[in-house]
Amino acid sequence: MIIPSDTSRRRFLATALSSTLGVGLGAAALTACGSDDQPTGEAATGGTKPPDTPAQPAGGHGPEVEPPVANGNDALKRLMDGNQRFVANQAVHDDEGAERRVAVSKAQHPFATVLGCVDSRVPVELVFDRGLGDLVVVRSAGEVLDHSIIGSLEFGVAELQTPLLMVLGHQRCGAIDATIKALDSKEAEEEGEIGYLVGALAPAVRQVAGKPGDRLANAVHANVDLVLAQLRKSTVLGPLEKAGKVRLVGAYYELDTGKVIVN
């Protein structure tokens, strides 16, 4: 399936980004975007497919190449399986070694795009027990969007064809906590571009005013929903979601437990 509009823009994107991001974006990649044709395991490894080995405990896949995910549901399951291993302290780190590095050195076929916070306690690959070539990760404080963040997410979904886009908020988010404090105080505005973050996060904080429960947690959830709503307005992401080619999900990471809870 080809996105009905903006083909030329996407070709421009492909050309401009392929050199900087190390991906081969030919016409095939563009026209195959969102199609049912998924890259094969062989293509995903640049032609090197190690022999199959028995499945690893706790959902790890060992040195063998995983099959491509069929859809967003598959991708979400793969993420959540990894999170379960992380929570249970049974992370397998399958995709972090030299073998994996070589396998993905010529091409990448990540299975999910994740927008998370910059918080040092929420490193996305670690909390999902994934590694090289698995995820397109974009991070900004409080998952605040701007042109480059949205463009990067569009790149992950439309060009790298990840069938899942997750917006991952988290417990005790400092950016949202700072926004609450800024809105509550009568002090001068934040300096530099931190004020931009506060302005972007303020609608979520205002939305939960007076609601029962933990104010910060409520605001984090509201912010994830607002970010998702904004992403659905993207002329790239919106049509792909409507066509069933990408699944957009919100999620919440608990610092206390390591659990990712999908909304």
Closest CA to 36 of 68, 78, 76: 68
246 binds Zn ion per the rule CB under 5 A: no
Q: Which is nearer to Zn ion, 200 or 246 (CB)?
A: 200
143 binds Zn ion per the rule CB under 5 A: no
Region from 56-64, 149-157, 175-183, 191-199 binding Zn ion, contact rule CB under 5 A = 175-183
Tokens of 97: 């070694």
Q: Which is nearer to Zn ion, 91 or 175 (CB)?
A: 175
173 binds Zn ion per the rule CB under 5 A: yes
Q: Using CB under 5 A, pick the residue from 65, 117, 150, 231 that binds Zn ion.
A: 117
Residue 124: CB minimum distance to Zn ion, A: 12
- Classify burial at 60, counting beta carbons within 10 Å of its beta carbon; exposed 0-12, middle 13-18, buried 19 or more: middle
Distances (CA, A) of 117 to 29, 106, 140, 185, 218: 30, 29, 5, 24, 16
In whole angstroms, what is the distance from residue 160 CA to residue 217 CA?
32
224 binds Zn ion per the rule CB under 5 A: no
201 binds Zn ion per the rule CB under 5 A: no
Closest CA to 136 of 101, 165, 105, 170: 165
Tokens of 73: 């549901």
197 binds Zn ion per the rule CB under 5 A: no
Residue whose structure tokens are 């979904």: 157
Q: Using CB under 5 A, pick the residue from 74, 94, 95, 119 that binds Zn ion.
A: 119
Closest CA to 115 of 50, 191, 166, 41: 166
Residue 170: CB minimum distance to Zn ion, A: 6
138 binds Zn ion per the rule CB under 5 A: no
Residue 247: CB minimum distance to Zn ion, A: 23
Residue 254: CB minimum distance to Zn ion, A: 13
In whole angstroms, what is the distance from residue 236 CA to residue 238 CA?
6
Region from 22-30, 109-117, 123-131, 255-263 binding Zn ion, contact rule CB under 5 A = 109-117
Q: Which is nearer to Zn ion, 79 or 216 (CB)?
A: 216
SS3 content of the chain, % helix, strand, coil (to 5): 45, 10, 45
Instruction: Report how many residues bind Zn ion under the rule CB under 5 A.
Output: 4
Query: Which parts of this chain interact with Zn ion (CB under 5 A)?
Result: 117, 119, 173, 175
